[in-house]
Amino acid sequence: MKSQFFTSIGIFAASAFAQAVIDSGTGFGTYYYDIEQVEACGTSFANQNLGFVECNFSTGLSLNEIDSNYLVAMNHTQIAGNLAEYCGKRVVVTVNGVKSDLPLFIGDGCQRCGTGSRTNTVWNPNGAPGLDFSYTVLSELNSNACFAGHIDISWEIVDETLYDFDTNAPGQPTGPVIQRRSVSQRSERATRRRR
């Protein structure tokens, strides 16, 4: 009886701390940038890393400035419709039935991810539902990622903020505005990189 009581308390506590699911889906994981491995899988990510992320487009933060391989891109149309709802939120990715515990967060939009049917189970490079990752993360999720170019995934975006973005872009909803790194810290890091 005592062990059942403690088991019940443990289940209740776990569910109390569970975050609400904002969005979920199945589809394909691909890669489009990498901060740590700028040259990987026969690709140079140098130019892509300079691109501004959709969640901080108004203040112009690039992938290099965010300096994290854990940033994930989702359906462009969906994220553009409500930046404050998705930007910075935790993404839980499942591959082959195994949930990843990587601290992945939404930070960008993906054109390919927003086209094609959400129920499509056949890969189409011109449009298929899914998420876009760094090469390092996709390789960690599946060691065959470089060869295949894409992997089968399912995901949940949960209501837990892992990264604060300035989502105050003109015409967009107001969202979090506090940056984890101040402008001076980003400038200092950029100066160190140039040396």
pLDDT digits (tens, 9 = 90+) for 38-79: 999 999 999 999 999 999 867 778 899 888 999 999 999 999
Fold that domain 19-194 belongs to in CATH: Barwin-like endoglucanases (2.40.40)
Which pLDDT does position 159 carry in this prediction? Answer: 95
- CB burial class (10 A; 0-12, 13-18, 19+) of residue 82? middle
The pLDDT score that the predictor gives to residue 124 is: 84
The pLDDT-based confidence of 133 (bands split at 50, 70, 90) is: very high
Mode of pairing for the β-strands spanning 43-44 and 39-40: antiparallel
| Low-confidence winner among 88-92, 140-144, 163-167, 175-179 (lowest mean pLDDT) | 175-179
The pLDDT confidence band at residue 169, using thresholds 50, 70 and 90, is: low
Provide the residue ranges of all domains of the chain, joining segments of one domain with +. 19-194
Average pLDDT, the chain: 80
Q: Is 142 exposed, middle or buried (0-12, 13-18, 19+ CB in 10 A)?
A: middle
CA dihedral 17, 142, 135, 82 (to 10 degrees): -40
79-128 pLDDT per residue, tens? 999 998 999 999 999 999 999 999 999 999 998 887 777 777 788 888 88
Structure tokens at 44: 């140079």
The whole model's pTM is what?
A: 0.76
